[in-house]
């Protein structure tokens, strides 16, 4: 599984790469509840870094080594696992979600005085 870091990868391709990896190295997917718990754990790790890097908390010595991008990729990985095992095409779901947000929020944010500086 050689992937060039300069290569553009579609969501659909990412789903296939994860599925191929699971089949080759992972034996099988963890069940959906386990993956949901893992996703929550990974989100917590991401939140910890964001809180320390952009919020008021300071890093502990060990945490300074953690990489924000790597934690985001961990979240994406588990989310893709959940999508794969539940039959969700994330490309299709994402497009529908953008359409929904566009219809619902066409003027909402532009009219929000809290967002204007």
Give the pLDDT of the chain (117 residues) as one tens digit per residue: 677 777 899 999 999 999 999 999 999 999 999 999 999 999 999 999 999 989 998 888 766 667 999 999 999 999 999 999 999 999 999 999 999 999 998 888 888 889 887
Global pTM exceeds 0.75 = yes
Q: Which of 94, 64, 59, 68 is nearest to 79 (CA)?
A: 94
Instruction: Measure the CA–CA gap between 94 and 117, rounded to whole angstroms.
Output: 30
Considering the domain 11-89, what is its CATH architecture? Orthogonal Bundle (1.10)
């Amino acid at each position: 599984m050689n992937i060039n870091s300069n290569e553009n990868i579609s969501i659909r391709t990412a789903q296939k790469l994860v599925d191929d990896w699971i089949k080759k190295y992972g034996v099988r997917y963890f069940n959906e509840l386990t993956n949901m718990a893992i996703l929550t754990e990974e989100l917590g790790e991401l939140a910890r870094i964001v809180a320390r890097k952009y919020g008021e908390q300071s890093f502990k010595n060990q945490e300074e080594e953690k990489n924000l991008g790597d934690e985001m990729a961990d979240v994406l990985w588990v989310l893709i696992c959940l999508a794969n095992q539940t039959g969700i095409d994330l490309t299709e779901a994402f497009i529908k979600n953008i359409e929904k947000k566009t219809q619902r929020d066409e003027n909402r944010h532009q009219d929000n005085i809290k967002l204007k500086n």
